[in-house]
Structure 1
């Protein structure tokens, strides 16, 4: 019976409509996985040199063990974003003569073959046999590696349960994200020595390899628990499909004070809060806001103006980067309706600009916490915020006129490439590299003070001439509107 279910699963994979999509998307996914795999392999052989640079005078293996906590925190959050719930794949099997427990067993077994479970091995195995084996016997090294594999699988099984739980309560993912960030900050600033405790545990495993079997007892318990829970809820009228609940409709009445454009702002905010993919894009903003804690702590980056400009653009423009780059594809479903109104397109573009500006100001206010790394950091964040409002926001709106790929708002944005056209990738490069190249050019031509002044005045100029720039952008959209309408209609 199990081999029949596996056969059906393979056929559903190869016959999936996903593989009938553009060949460019397939090449992109394969290239991304290949590039990531090679990068992790190279990382595995270079971890000792990296640790010696950032933790001088400390034992490499000890430093690696102490930082494993950060990996597991990141992995747990990553699983909530990337790892799909296996139970939803059982719907077609419920009408076939299979026992529910067999279906549940197939789903749990299938879930182990996830890329997130295999990628860590690409840098753990080289590090184990290239570094750990130099100080410890083979049996100790294997025990340390097996223990890590066991903990990865424990993390996986816990993630399945949490993801299934959050299938009914979406706040669970937010709680896990907050908890993960909290643990990271507590350990990073050494408020609680979590990293040291983790390092002591792995040190004990290296000395007593038999301890490496401990996680597998937990794996057995979690495996049986997930199996029973999934099998128990495998009914259409049970927990397999979440019960419909009353939608919490936010009125956003406070936007009325912004006049006519306030109605469009309200509609935009409703779209963001009510649809899955827009919420996922908004969630990535949180990662970008906290990215400074990782980068500013790196003295080699924090001491270079180029790096500070890059980080400042990334943090203060987090919303524009993650959400704005898909403008106007978010509105592809009702884009024809906007084209039937004299001022619909203009108000939509002005709404987008208002949101970019407001989000940039909020992100800059948040970035004041990075004063702990020095006033220079806040100064560059201020320059970057001005540049994002005056220049980056207009570039994003102008590049949006080349959009030809619609977006399904009900889908998650992670590993889902519908709506991702060439203009999106080009826009990403322009947003990320453009300010750095521009600043680099200014730094070669001008002294520091004048370089800062011209860079900031460029953003101010964009703000001052906003109306003129927006009129040109509007003309661009009107020129391309028929091509966009045709493309959105053909791609749906």
Structure 2
């Protein structure tokens, strides 16, 4: 039966409208995986010797155990945003004699084959091998390795259970930020008790049973969670909710784009996924604190330009990258109306511009770090409006992955929405402003870099009618491919 499931998924992939694009992206991602996998392998082999040289007075194994907690927390956050949860159209299978347990085991098996589970192995297995070569006790090293793998797989199932649970994620985020700050300012070093616990686990091999028991418990909990909603009537039933209306008549002043702006605002307010993206974009306002508080980055203004893009471009880069996927559930109906494509795209542009301006206003406390920093944020805001907004809309024409708006109640849908196309499209938005700023800065002065960054943004605003005409042409050309892709179940 597992072979048949694999056959179904291959046919679904190879017969879909995004097959060719998927092949090209997967080839690029395969090279990326090989590159990062090779770097991870080198790190695993050299980690022992790096730590031995950097801190010769401390056992490298002790150092790893002292800081492994941060690795697991970072791993969890990375999974939350980027791990592709298993996707399978199970409704047709519910009405035929296929055991539910078999399908669920297959879905859970797919999660264990994730790159996020394999990457740690590429690091810790070579590291453990080096430890054995250096004469460390075999039983202790093997028990530690098994514990590490068990905790990694536990994080995999935790992510499955709490995926898109904002309360859990932001609780973890606050804890990480708090403990990180306490550690940085030497108020309370969380690494010490955590390190003691992991070292005790290493020195007491039979305690390996604890991570294994936790892993089995989480696997069973995930299994029960999926099985609980694995019924045909549950899959097709619709929950009735009372919707509260909002007075958005003040948007009528925007003319033809007003109906679309109202629709997007209602979409954000009423649906789980857009609300989550909205909260994520707010967190980008604090991105500068990572860079502006560190003296190291003062001598790397190109990196500061990179950070400045995020402060005012959080909504643009999170919400904007899913245009037009936000409307995928009713895109066919939308495109059947007598609506100019330009009007539809302009509404998205105005929404992103408003978010950039609001973020810029909220970023005024950064004046505390100096007018140079605030000037860079201002130049970044103009650049986001005048160029990054267009790049975002252009990327939307190539991103034909549908977004299901209320993902919390869907155990078998693509609750992540991340795909490699977004990553490739997003690279110019990060690298281009750094290049535009750095060249005048290096040849002339810091202010010259800011002026160049702002001028490119102003030029983009002036040329808006011509740029929009080009973007509209791209959308028109791929209109029916987009409709077909949104109609498919991925």
Whether the TM-score (by the shorter chain) exceeds 0.5 is yes
Rounded Cα–Cα distance in structure 2 between residues aligned with 1:91 and 1:83: 23
8 A Cα contact 1:281 1:413, kept in partner? no
Alignment of 1:9-408 (within 5 A): 9-17=5-13, 20=16, 21-36=18-33, 37-45=37-45, 47=47, 60-81=60-81, 91-97=91-97, 100=100, 104-105=104-105, 107-109=107-109, 111-130=111-130, 134=134, 136-163=136-163, 173-190=165-182, 193-228=189-224, 230-231=226-227, 234-237=230-233, 244-246=239-241, 248=243, 251=246, 253=248, 255-256=250-251, 258-260=253-255, 261-272=257-268, 285=281, 288-289=284-285, 291-292=287-288, 300-325=296-321, 327=323, 333=332, 336=335, 340-341=338-339, 344-364=340-360, 367=363, 377-394=373-390, 396-397=392-393, 399=394, 403=397, 406-408=400-402
Q: RMSD across aligned C-alpha pairs, in angstroms?
A: 4.3
8 A Cα contact 2:367 2:374, kept in partner? yes
| More divergent stretch after superposition (482-491 vs 62-71) | 482-491
Rounded Cα–Cα distance in structure 2 between residues aligned with 1:223 and 1:412: 20
| CA shift digits 1:367-408 (9 cap, x unpaired) | 5677897776544333322332344335545x46x9366453
The partner residue of 1:469 within 463, 472, 475 is 463
8 A Cα contact 2:85 2:414, kept in partner? no
Find the counterpart in structure 2 of residue 444 from structure 1.
Answer: 442
Residue 386 to residue 298, structure 1, CA distance change in 2 (3 Å): same
Residue 19 to residue 139, structure 1, CA distance change in 2 (3 Å): farther
Residue 111 to residue 208, structure 1, CA distance change in 2 (3 Å): same
8 A Cα contact 1:77 1:176, kept in partner? no
Residue 31 to residue 469, structure 1, CA distance change in 2 (3 Å): closer
8 A Cα contact 1:439 1:455, kept in partner? yes
- Note the C-alpha offset of 1:245: 3.2
| More divergent stretch after superposition (198-207 vs 375-384) | 375-384
Q: Which runs of 5+ in 1 are unaligned?
A: 164-171
Name the SS for the 1:244 alignment partner.
Answer: coil
| CA shift digits 1:3-37 (9 cap, x unpaired) | xx323323323332356543342242244245233
Residue 51 to residue 99, structure 1, CA distance change in 2 (3 Å): same
Name the SS for the 1:403 alignment partner.
Answer: helix
Residue 149 to residue 296, structure 1, CA distance change in 2 (3 Å): farther
Query: Relative contact order (C-alpha < 8 Å, sep 6+): which is higher?
Result: 2
- Note the C-alpha offset of 1:189: 0.6
Q: TM-score, length-normalised on structure 2?
A: 0.76
Find the counterpart in structure 2 of residue 166 from structure 1.
Answer: none
Residue 13 to residue 450, structure 1, CA distance change in 2 (3 Å): closer
Name the SS for the 2:240 alignment partner.
Answer: coil
| More divergent stretch after superposition (78-87 vs 16-25) | 78-87
8 A Cα contact 1:186 1:192, kept in partner? no
8 A Cα contact 2:85 2:415, kept in partner? no
Rounded Cα–Cα distance in structure 1 between residues aligned with 2:347 and 2:49: 49
8 A Cα contact 2:150 2:215, kept in partner? yes
| More divergent stretch after superposition (180-189 vs 470-479) | 470-479
- Note the C-alpha offset of 1:444: 3.2
Residue 7 to residue 319, structure 1, CA distance change in 2 (3 Å): same
Rounded Cα–Cα distance in structure 2 between residues aligned with 1:378 and 1:14: 51
Find the counterpart in structure 1 of residue 431 from structure 2.
Answer: 433
- Note the C-alpha offset of 1:479: 5.5
Residue 17 to residue 202, structure 1, CA distance change in 2 (3 Å): same
| CA shift digits 1:164-199 (9 cap, x unpaired) | xxxxxxxx6111221121111111111654333221
Residue 359 to residue 139, structure 1, CA distance change in 2 (3 Å): same
Residue 34 to residue 65, structure 1, CA distance change in 2 (3 Å): farther
Rounded Cα–Cα distance in structure 2 between residues aligned with 1:64 and 1:377: 37
Q: TM-score, length-normalised on structure 1?
A: 0.76
Name the SS for the 2:193 alignment partner.
Answer: helix
8 A Cα contact 1:144 1:209, kept in partner? yes
